[in-house]
Amino acid sequence: MVGFDENKKIAAERAAMVRYHLQGRDITDPRVLEVMGRLPREAFVPPAYASQAYADNPLPIGVGQTISQPYIVALMTQCLRLSGNEDVLEIGTGSGYQTAVLASLARRVYTIERFHELAESAQSVLSRLGFDNIEYYIGDGSCGWPEKRTFDRILLTAAVPRVPQPLLDQLADGGILVVPVGSESTQMLVSVKKKHGRITTEPVCGCRFVKLVGKYGFPD
């Protein structure tokens, strides 16, 4: 049980994160700021790291993976320009925190994770928090969602050497795909748009993500 004073402390840390690490940089989308000012990030990190839940850095979540730093979660979400009607495909469920941000801002989220222990733990936290607009799949997300369909937005939360073709194929016309592309040690976050079947790519910023391991990602 978390006491009243503890709740007040967490609320203050969350407000400080939004103010200094998001608004203090270039996060301006009011919907992203509102959601990240409300979601309990501490519920998504292992108990040993709960006191660092609002620090602006990645934290270990097990099996060699990390929960992304809050600023990067906010930046990637802002790049997706969500209005609330979108179906979003997320590759790399991890802790489920980014999934929660997306599910709060879009119509439905389809999320893929390769480690079943992470997928199961994320699903249990997200159900406990009341999310009922998320579909889960365990497998290689570089091959896309297992059904033949398209998505309005696609987000990869792990790095790829090049944008996987199956994901470009599953991006709807008028859609946006955000992905870190590069080597295992350093990447560029890029925003990919599809319009009238034509693909354009814009750089966002340099970044460093864990690698996406899969058929269209890096080898294990």
Q: According to the binding rule CB under 6 A, does residue 92 interact with ligand SAH? A: yes
Residue 195: both structure tokens together: 């319009």
Count the helix, strand and coil residues of the chain and give each as a percent rounded to the nearest 5: 35, 30, 35
Dist CA 156 CA 80 (whole Å): 11
Q: According to the binding rule CB under 6 A, does residue 114 interact with ligand SAH? A: yes
Single residue of 101, 158, 171, 192 touching ligand SAH by CB under 6 A = 158
Dist CA 140 CA 203 (whole Å): 25
Determine the straight-line distance between the first and last CA of the chain, rounded to whole angstroms. 40
Q: Which is nearer to ligand SAH, 18 or 158 (CB)?
A: 158
Alpha-carbon 91 to chain mean position: 8
Candidate segments 77-85, 91-99, 126-134, 170-178, binder of ligand SAH by CB under 6 A: 91-99
- The answer to whether the beta carbons of residues 112 and 124 sit under 8 Å apart is no
Phi, psi of 143 (to 5 degrees): -90, 0
Q: According to the binding rule CB under 6 A, does residue 157 interact with ligand SAH? A: yes
68 carries an active-site annotation = yes
Candidate segments 3-11, 78-86, 100-108, 112-120, binder of ligand SAH by CB under 6 A: 112-120
Least distance from ligand SAH to the Cβ atom of residue 172, Å: 20
- The site for ligand SAH (CB under 6 A) is made up of 61, 65-68, 91-92, 94-95, 97-98, 112-115, 118, 140-142, 157-158, 210, 212-214, 217
What are the catalytic residues?
A: 68
